[in-house]
Amino acid sequence: MKTLTLDLEYDCDFDLFGIVSSSREHKLAWTLNSSLRLRLIKQQDLIYDLFAQGRLVISNYLHATENSTLRLLRNRSVDPSPLKKPFLAPDIKEYDYLIQVSNGAGPLAPQELLEQLTRLPEVQYACQFDPNTLKFKENLLF
């Protein structure tokens, strides 16, 4: 009997930024709102049930317009988790927060956004990633 294997390859069509910050998520969202003229609104937490291993609860803020969306995601699980790596993106666990931008233009264009993020006093370090190179990129698809 033949066994068929389904290989899925996802293409991530968004920009991804990692942020190192010791600020709490609501403080960082407020700072981003005031400095970048956004309207990040707290959404329902994202819950990933990993069956026998445990679950991840990820804090989620959203700014949406007609043309673009920006999400501020906490990289570490909000709830205590029995997982060895309780991160949304374990490949880049050094980063406290992730910013996901779809259809970014103007002030949300990748280079301009990165420059603005590095100027914020609450951000110790910011970096842009290619989401297609991440091992756990499926976690970033909503």
CATH number, domain at 89?
A: 3.30.310
- Residue 2 in any domain: the answer is no
* Domain span holding position 60: 15-140
Give the confidence band of 106 by pLDDT, cuts at 50, 70, 90.
Answer: low
- Residue 85 in any domain: the answer is yes
Q: Which residue has the higher pLDDT, 79 or 51?
A: 79
- Residue 8 in any domain: the answer is no
DSSP-H helix ranges across the chain:
25-36, 110-119
- Residue 5 in any domain: the answer is no
- Residue 35 in any domain: the answer is yes
Look up residue 75 and give its two tokens: 């990289």
Q: What pTM was computed for the model?
A: 0.84
What pLDDT does residue 7 have?
64
What pLDDT does residue 109 have?
80
- Per the structure, the count of domains in the chain is 1
- Residue 95 in any domain: the answer is yes
Identify the CA nearest to 128 among candidates 138, 120, 118: 118
Helix, strand, coil in percent for the chain, rounding step 5: 25, 30, 45
Helices and strands (DSSP H and E) totals, the chain: 2, 8
Give the confidence band of 9 by pLDDT, cuts at 50, 70, 90.
Answer: low
Task: Please give the average per-residue pLDDT across 43-63, as a whole number.
Answer: 84
- Residue 1 in any domain: the answer is no
